[in-house]
Amino acid sequence: MSFPNPSKADQNKLEEQIHLLQGDLEKIQSQIHAFESLLRTELSDLIVESQELFSLYKQIKKAKKAKRLEQKKRGKNYKEPKGLLRSPGKKKSLLKPEQRKEKKRLYREAMLHVHPDKFQMNEKDTEVATEITSRLIEIYQTESLERLQAYHAHIFNGNTNIILTDTASKVKIVAKDNHLQQDIKRLEKEIEIAKNDHLYKVLTEYESPMTYVDELKEYYELRIVQLKKRTRKGL
């Protein structure tokens, strides 16, 4: 059984629809990107400080756990687990000040772009982003500046199998017969996802979107105060 091919006029209509949808998608993505860039500019210091304090908090909890283990070892019935590895001490950084500054800049830039919270609408992307951030933290904390530079380039060259807002490629239109309807459906789905992005909702539903910056500042400032209290008590 054969199916009739669409006429040239029908193809032109579908191609025009694709063109319009593409324009809508790019406009929405551009609005989100611009607002996200503004948020990063306004909040980057608070975000990173919050992450660093949370990391310190986890280290303190880990140290307390180790202390409890040492206390447990003093008990007469305690038996040392076989194969237990002693955790190495933190290595002193041999980097020059400007190298440390560059390493931190690369880490912050990559972290703000691939943090898993940015990909909540796509479970697969969330999993990938989680893996990327875990590796990013590991490289930042334990490996060289050159290694971080290489991984930073790896992320921003589009080698991570997720689409970053800042480096997203334009959707390619395959304008051939039965592919046209598939492209339209795909673009419509991407537009739906983009419109459900929280930042886009802020832009379109808030009477004054800039008040969201104040909301986030208040959130991070409160979180930082709480983390400082927790880490101060643990020191």
Single-letter amino acid code for the residue at 13: K
Residues 192 and 213 in one domain: no
Answer yes or no: are the C-beta atoms of 194 and 188 closer than 8 Å.
Answer: no
Give the C-alpha separation, 202 to 211, whole Å: 9
Q: Which domain does 119 fall in, by range? A: 11-38+95-196
Residues 84-123: pLDDT tens digits? 444 444 455 577 888 888 988 888 888 877 765 554 445 5
Distance between first and last Cα of the chain: 76
pLDDT of residue 191: 93
Residues 102 and 188 in one domain: yes
Residues 137 and 222 in one domain: no
- Distances in whole angstroms, Cα of residue 44 to Cα of each of 51, 111, 171, 193: 11, 10, 30, 25
Answer yes or no: are the C-beta atoms of 119 and 129 closer than 8 Å.
Answer: yes
In a domain, 48, yes or no: no
Cβ-based burial of 15 (10 A; exposed 0-12, middle 13-18, buried ≥19): middle
Residues 130 and 169 in one domain: yes
In a domain, 156, yes or no: yes
Q: What percent of the chain has pLDDT over 90?
A: 15
Answer yes or no: are the C-beta atoms of 204 and 212 closer than 8 Å.
Answer: no
Rg (CA), the chain: 25
In a domain, 125, yes or no: yes
Report whether pLDDT(231) > 70: yes
pLDDT of residue 28: 94
Give the C-alpha separation, 137 to 54, whole Å: 13
Residues 138 and 169 in one domain: yes
Residues 137 and 174 in one domain: yes
Residues 107 and 179 in one domain: yes
Answer yes or no: are the C-beta atoms of 58 and 234 closer than 8 Å.
Answer: no
In a domain, 167, yes or no: yes
Residues 22 and 135 in one domain: yes
Residues 112 and 223 in one domain: no
pLDDT class of 201 with cuts at 50, 70, 90: very high
Residues 41-72: pLDDT tens digits? 888 888 888 878 887 888 888 888 888 877 77
Residues 104 and 16 in one domain: yes
Residues 151 and 226 in one domain: no
In a domain, 145, yes or no: yes
Residues 21 and 101 in one domain: yes
Residues 1-44: pLDDT tens digits? 444 444 667 778 888 998 999 999 999 999 999 998 888 888 88
Report whether pLDDT(74) > 50: yes
Q: How many domains does the chain have?
A: 2
In a domain, 83, yes or no: no
In a domain, 63, yes or no: no
Percent of residues in the chain assigned helix, strand, coil, to nearest 5 = 70, 0, 30
pLDDT of residue 46: 86
Residues 130-185: pLDDT tens digits? 777 778 888 888 888 888 888 888 777 765 655 444 333 322 333 344 567 878 88
DSSP per residue over 6-65, as a string? PPHHHHHHHHHHHHHHHHHHHHHHHHHHHHHHHHHHHHHHHHHHHHHHHHHHHHHHHHHH
In a domain, 67, yes or no: no
pLDDT of residue 24: 94
